């Protein structure tokens, strides 16, 4: 266990549904991240929060909406997704927003399938 948990682990949703992914870190870190991992593609950074403030939105479509109520919790709200959004969504945390040798600790991911 890396101290980062994600729920649910698997999610199947229709294009008209609204769902949320949850991430919680128990490491006392100040930065949290959302990544998208598609088959045979590098991890794609989606959002970064540092001390609860969003510091990075990597040109992510508005159908993905992040929320960070505190330094330990991170949500990703989903609505009107497309089939190409099907992927593994990974949450990560680090002591602070990345600097030098700071290591990111990843959760197990949520496998999302959009029908």
Partner 1 sequence: KNQVEQSPQSLIILEGKNCTLQCNYTVSPFSNLRWYKQDTGRGPVSLTIMTFSENTKSNGRYTATLDADTKQSSLHITASQLSDSASYICVVSPRITGTASKLTFGTGTRLQVTL
Contact between residue 31 and residue 74 where contact means Cβ atoms under 8 Å apart: no
DSSP secondary structure letter of residue 104: P
User: Of 7 and 18, which CB lies nearer to partner 1 in the complex structure?
Assistant: 7
Measure the CA–CA gap between 55 and 17, rounded to whole angstroms: 28
Contacting range for partner 1; rule: CB under 8 A; set: 11-19, 35-43, 63-71, 74-82: 35-43
Residue from the set 21, 78, 92, 114 that interacts with partner 1 by CB under 8 A? 92
Tokens 């929320």 appear where?
67
User: Of 62 and 103, which CB lies nearer to partner 1 in the complex structure?
Assistant: 103
Contacting range for partner 1; rule: CB under 8 A; set: 12-20, 61-69, 77-85, 97-105: 97-105
User: Of 40 and 69, which CB lies nearer to partner 1 in the complex structure?
Assistant: 40
Q: Which residues contact 97 (CB under 8 A, 6 or more apart)?
A: 30, 31, 48, 50, 55
Identify residues 46-65 at the interface with partner 1 (CB under 8 A): 48, 55-56, 58
Q: What is the dihedral of CA 94, 108, 10, 21, to 10 degrees?
A: -10
**Residues at the interface with partner 1 (CB under 8 A):** 2, 4, 31, 33, 40-43, 45, 48, 55-56, 58, 90-92, 94, 97-101, 103-109, 111
């Amino acid at each position: 266990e890396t101290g980062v948990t994600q729920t649910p682990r698997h999610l199947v949703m229709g294009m008209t549904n609204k769902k949320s992914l949850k991430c919680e870190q128990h490491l006392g870190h100040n930065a949290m991240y959302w990544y998208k991992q598609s088959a045979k593609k590098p991890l794609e950074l989606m959002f970064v929060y540092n001390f609860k403030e969003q510091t990075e939105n990597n040109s992510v479509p508005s159908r993905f909406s992040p929320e960070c109520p505190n330094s330990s919790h991170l949500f990703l709200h989903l609505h009107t997704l497309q089939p190409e959004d099907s992927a593994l969504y990974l949450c990560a945390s680090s002591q602070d927003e990345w600097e030098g040798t700071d290591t990111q600790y990843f959760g197990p991911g949520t496998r999302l399938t959009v029908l």
